Chains A and B, each alone.
Chain A
């Protein structure tokens, strides 16, 4: 087969789809997996900044200290080389499966998030999310409800009292806060009229007064709080609170599996931040610059505009990651009964009332 024939084969529809899919998967995977090392660095330097001290800044390679970024590398190397101790009596299947669930669900959610408008390459329309589903964020809710198993299986399989207690509390917390999470997203469906995430981003427009956060502020507040509860972070981290339950559900995990838990946690923080920016903050749209104007500004090249859109989404998600770290190091932890009371007695009724009011307002608007 000569070069011309090879090129002609590559320009067929299926080949373009496959190559585009592979590139999208690689990009999403690499971006998601680069988040935890950066987050570990921010997690230690940002509170240092807030508390008027310096964080880790000693680790360096040949005297390049890079403000402590190499600390993440050192931590990872340490965790990988540690001895792996499996507790006696631990259930082998569940013990090894639990960290996998965490990383799997987080990366699967990242597949449904659109990071750009549809591109037309060689006559083939390619959506810029790894999968283009017309039930976009129902898929995301479904996968995030599978994340409960990480915590449940990890604690149960460890054959340890503290792990079991921590995991039961954490899983009860996660399933309790899944309901206000879904309930806060239903008014979004009512307002935008579609479950497709790319459609939601496009219909938000570029101007901040039409974004989801202005159209559904109570939903945004509920979603923000449930975001923290779903990832076991910030004031809802009773399950892994160091002073409460040794280390909660991951007490008996060490070395690479411990790293996998943290990977899963940071990646799920990142994808939920991306989701929040997609639904409430306009996603890949640059503020005040409509997409067509942006394409004209870069000289009509769609792919440069797509890269800019991707960068904008990452910046918005980074803002939410900063809020995660900020809230974690500012607020004290909830007690367990306060936490459950907040979820069931406050957030669920507020979510229901929000849905009712949104539905009434949308129905009233339609009659005019």
Chain B
């Protein structure tokens, strides 16, 4: 009963934060509300006994990725005119369509009981008997999902190299005399 109450309270706060992310005029304040969103999402993960995922969510997503967002936003330094240029025509219609699609998908999955992960092989008791959250995730990640893991590492390395190459100043442009 108290767990349900906590979930509903957290879910309400997540909804409020998400609405604030989307409707704020200032992008940095949107990023702040995004941090709140992700932190509350980690709370939901923790209430589902997925402590490792919750900690990693805060560490990586809220603590590093959104900081990167903020740096980029501050670097771009968009004034009100800048933001007007970026306005997509009819955003409200797009939001409405996406919301309908989202609710339909989630509702269908939940009602027919076919959501992936619900009643899967790794229930909290199974995880505890297997040696805890970290151990189970590590074992599954490095045995069953080893290929996606290695390929995503290579992809990230490619992205880093690409970023460095793009950000490097072109030597020809500097010497302008």
Contacts and interface: CB of A to CB of B under 8 A. Distances in A.
Nearest to B62: A146
Contacts of A142: 42, 55-56, 58-59, 62-63
Nearest to A145: B63
B56 A149 contact: no
A156 B74 CA distance: 8
Given A149-B35, A153-B32, A138 B67 contact: no
Interface string B15-46: 00000000000101100100100010010000
Contacts, number: 69
Q: Is the interface of A mostly helix, strand, loop or mixed?
A: helix
A148 B51 contact: no
Contacts of A94: 28-29, 32
Interface in A240-265: none
A138 B50 CA distance: 13
B133 interface: yes
Interface in A131-187: 133-135, 138-139, 141-143, 145-146, 148-149, 152-153, 156, 164, 168, 171, 175, 178
A185 B52 CA distance: 16
Given A94-B28, A135-B52, A146 B132 contact: no
Nearest to A141: B59
Nearest to A97: B32
Given A91-B28, A133-B51, A146-B35, A171 B67 contact: yes
B70 interface: yes
A363 to B, nearest CB: 15
Nearest to B53: A135
Contact of A134 (B28, B35, B62, B132): B132
Given A135-B52, A139-B55, A152-B70, A145 B29 contact: no
Interface residues of B, number: 23
A195 interface: yes
Given A134-B51, A145-B58, A145-B59, A93 B67 contact: no
B40 to A, nearest CB: 13
Interface string A112-145: 0000000000000000000001110011011101
Nearest to B75: A168
A211 B70 CA distance: 40
Interface residues of A, number: 25
Contacts of B62: 142, 145-146
A173 to B, nearest CB: 12
A156 to B, nearest CB: 6
B58 A156 contact: no
Contacts of B152: none
Contacts of A148: 63, 67
Contacts of A195: 134
B64 interface: yes
Interface string B67-102: 100110010000000000000000000000000000
Given A145-B59, A149-B32, A153-B32, A175 B64 contact: yes
B32 A146 contact: no
Nearest to B63: A145
Given A91-B26, A91-B29, A93-B29, 20 more contacts: A94-B32, A97-B32, A134-B133, A135-B55, A135-B134, A138-B56, A139-B55, A141-B55, A141-B59, A142-B42, A142-B58, A142-B59, A145-B62, A145-B63, A146-B62, A149-B67, A153-B28, A164-B74, A168-B71, A171-B67
9 contacts: A93-B32, A94-B29, A97-B32, A134-B133, A141-B55, A142-B42, A142-B63, A149-B70, A156-B74
Interface of B: 26, 28-29, 32, 35, 39, 42, 51-52, 55-56, 58-59, 62-64, 67, 70-71, 74, 132-134
Interface of A: 91, 93-94, 97, 133-135, 138-139, 141-143, 145-146, 148-149, 152-153, 156, 164, 168, 171, 175, 178, 195
Closest 7 CB pairs of A and B: A145-B63, A142-B58, A142-B59, A138-B55, A135-B51, A142-B55, A139-B55
